[in-house]
Each structure stands twice: as C-alpha cells, then as structure tokens.
Amino acid sequence: MSESIIRRPGRWQWLTYLLLAVGTVFFLLPVYLVIVTALKQPAAITLDATWRLPPVWNWASFAQAWTSFLPKLRNSLLLGVTATLLSSLLGSLNGYVLSKWKFPGANLLFMLMLFGMFIPYQSILIPMFRFIKSIGLYGTVWGLVVVHTVYGLPITTLIFRNYYVEVPDALVEATSIDGAGFFGIYRYVMFPLSMPGFVVVIIWQFTQIWNEFLFAVTLSKPASQPITVALAQLAGGEAVKWNLPMAGALLAALPTLLVYIAFGRYFIRGLLAGSIKG
C-alpha cells in the first residue's frame, strides 16, 4: 500500500492545523460535557453551570452504573462475540461464493439478500417475536444471537463480496489447477487473505450488535438483557438526574471505544483493501 511521501511543508500547513483543531473541539466538546456531568453531584447539575468543572468530584454515579451494568455485561459480551463471529464467518463464505462461483442468478440473489439490510426493525417486531418464541429461544441470549446473525448477513456478505472480487481470478484458477476444490480454495487462498476484511466486518458488526436496543428490550428477559437495556433503565424514571445516564453512557461505550482505539488503524487499512469500492 502506498504511503504519501513527505511533501515540502506548505505555506498552508498552519491552516491545516487550525482546521484540525476546530474539528477536534467539535468532536471532543460533548465528551468533556459527559465526563464533567457524570462527575457532578445531582444538585450541582444546573443549566447555568453546564460547562463548569464539578465543585466536588462524585464517583458514586460510576459505581452505581457499574453495579447495575455488571450482570448485563456478560450478556452483551456473549451476544456480541458470538453473533459477530457467526455473521462474519457466514458472510465470508457467502462473499466467496458470490464473487468466485458464478451460478445462474447469483447476482440477483445477492441483490435480494442486500435488500435485507434496509428493513426497519419496528415493522417486523411482532412476527419476529412470534418466531423466536416458537423456536423456544425467547428470553435467552441465543434468541438475540439468531436475530443479529441473520440481520448481519447482508452487510457482511456485501463487504466480503466486494473484498473478494478484488482477489485476482488467476490466483483462484492456479489453485484449482493444483487440485484444490471449493473448500480448498477457500482454505488456502481466500481465508488467509481475508484479515483486513474480517477487521472491518468484525468492528462494524460488534458495534452494531453491542449498541442495538429494540430487539434487546423486546426479546430478552431480565436475566438475558444486554447492556443497552440497563442503560435505558438508568435514564428512565420521572426525575432524571443527569449524572447517572452520563456515567452509564460512558461505561456502556467503553468496550466499543476500546475496540476503535486499538483497531482503528486496521479499520482504515481494511477499508482501503477494497472492501468499500462501489
């Protein structure tokens, strides 16, 4: 992958830094507000003191959010990891099929599968509930895993298909001449090349699944509720003391945030590796 060579520092470099500073302020201002509000005592949260630092640092809201989150954390992790891995693997296989094995109607089927990405979940809530209940998975984390795996298939297939299309056909043909069949080509050619694609897909899917609310609240029971439901409980009620929802939001966002900080570079590399070309 080519990196831009260092150019002469232009006269406009200061403008670059200025604009980047403005952008940074825009992106970080809400974060400052969240942290500051989460650390204030409820009585200190008034509209005119919004931007001021907390007079007394109150860590209690974090403690409270943490205790209400902890049981749900396991659910969210189980759900996120399982559903992400399943939908990524299936997406990879589907992408492989759709890009390297042309059978009649493959493109049409791809198009039809892609359309599944776009349905609003509210309109299928009731039939989905009935279905999950009928297979006995209502109220369990596995019911949510099924739902998120299925609805993750279109986007993972899309990303992998576009990614694998870039793999030269010659490489596939050479391997098949050497005697590898369908699974052999996947194992020896496609899968080893797939890492950037997997990074993109895993980051995207994990974020979507971790943050989803509607199915989480409808298809779960208290024992199997993910963290998004717990967050809503914190912010609910008649008298909202803003420090709790803010602390909760920070804690709930931490895992996905860490994923982005750790893998952000690979995310961009993955996008570059052809998984996003139109």
Partner 1 sequence: MRWPRNKDQLFALLVILPSLVLVAIFVYGFIAQNLYTSLTDWGRDPAQALSANPVIRFIGLDNYRELFTGLIDSRFRQDLVNTIFFTLFFIAGCLGLGLALAILLDRKPKGESALRTIFLFPMSLSFIVTGTIWRWLLQPQGGVNRLPTLVGLPPGRFAWLTSRQQILRFDWNRLPFYTALVVAAALVWVGVSAFRARARVRGWVALSSAAILAAWAFTLGLRWQPLPFPELHGFNLAFVGIILAAIWQMSGYTMALYLAGLRGVPDELREAARVDGATELQLYRRVILPLLAPITLSAVIILGHISLKIFDLIFAMAGPDNAPTDVPALLMYITAFRGNQFAKGAAIGFLLLLLVAVLIIPYLTTQLSRGDRK
Partner 2 sequence: MSDRFAGTLALFATVAAGAQKLEIFSWWAGDEGPALEALITQYGKLYPAVEVTNSTVTGGSGVNARAVLKTRMLGGDPPDSFQVHAGQELIGTWVVAERMEDLAPLFKSEGWTTKFPAGLISLLSYKGGIWSVPVNIHRSNVLWYNPAKLKEWGVTPPKTWDEFLATCRTLQGKGLDAPLALGENWTQQHLWESVALGVLGPDNWNALWTGKLKFTDPKAVKVWDTFGKVLEVANQDAAGLSWQQATDLVVQGQAAFNIMGDWAAGYMATTLMLQPGEGFGWAPAPGNGGTFMMLSDSFGLPKGIKNRTPALNWLKLLGSRDGQDIFNPLKGSIAARTDSDMSKYNAYLQSAAKDWKANKIVGSLVHGAVAPEAFMSQFGTVMEIYLASKNPQAAANAAQAIANQVGLGR
Q: Is 232 in the site for partner 2 (CB under 8 A)?
A: yes
Size of the site for partner 2 (CB under 8 A): 23
Note whether 174 binds partner 1 by CB under 8 A: no
Q: How far apart are CA 276 and CA 278, in angstroms?
A: 6
Determine the interface stretch with partner 2 among 76-84, 92-100, 129-137, 174-182 (rule: CB under 8 A): 129-137
| CA 202 to each of CA 86, 101, 268: distance values in angstroms, whole numbers, following the listed order | 10, 24, 13
Q: Are 247 and 45 in contact (CB under 8 A)?
A: no
Give CA separation, 186 vs 17, 189, 266, in Å: 46, 6, 22
48 lies in the site for partner 2, by CB under 8 A: no
Q: For partner 2, which is the closer residue by CB, 62 or 186?
A: 62
For residue 47, give the amino acid letter.
Answer: L
Is the C-alpha dihedral spanning 57, 60, 61, 62 positive or negative? positive
Residue selected from 160, 212, 224, 247 as contacting partner 1 according to rule CB under 8 A: 212
Which position among 73, 233, 235, 266 is part of the footprint of partner 1 (CB under 8 A)?
235
What token pair was written down for 243? Answer: 């420090």
Binding residue (CB under 8 A) for partner 2 from 240, 254, 262, 272: 240
Q: Characterize 161-176 residue by residue with b for buried, 16 or more Cβ atoms within 10 angstroms of its Cβ, and e for exposed.
A: bbbbeebeeeebeebe
Q: Under the criterion CB under 8 A, does residue 122 sit at the interface with partner 1?
A: yes
Q: How far is the C-alpha of 89 from the C-alpha of 109, rounded, in Å? A: 19
Span interacting with partner 1, options 57-65, 67-75, 133-141, 226-234, rule CB under 8 A: 226-234
Amino acid identity, position 11:
R
Binding region for partner 1 (CB under 8 A) out of 4-12, 62-70, 76-84, 136-144: 4-12
For residue 108, state whether it binds partner 2 (rule: CB under 8 A): no
Does residue 120 belong to the site contacting partner 2 (CB under 8 A)?
Answer: no
When asked if residue 263 is in the footprint of partner 2 (CB under 8 A), the reply is no
Query: Which of 206/224 has CB closer to partner 1?
Result: 206
Under the binding rule (CB under 8 A), the answer on residue 217 touching partner 1 is: no
Tokens representing 138 are 């209502």
Which listed range, 63-71, 72-80, 91-99, 137-145, lies at the site for partner 1 (CB under 8 A)?
91-99
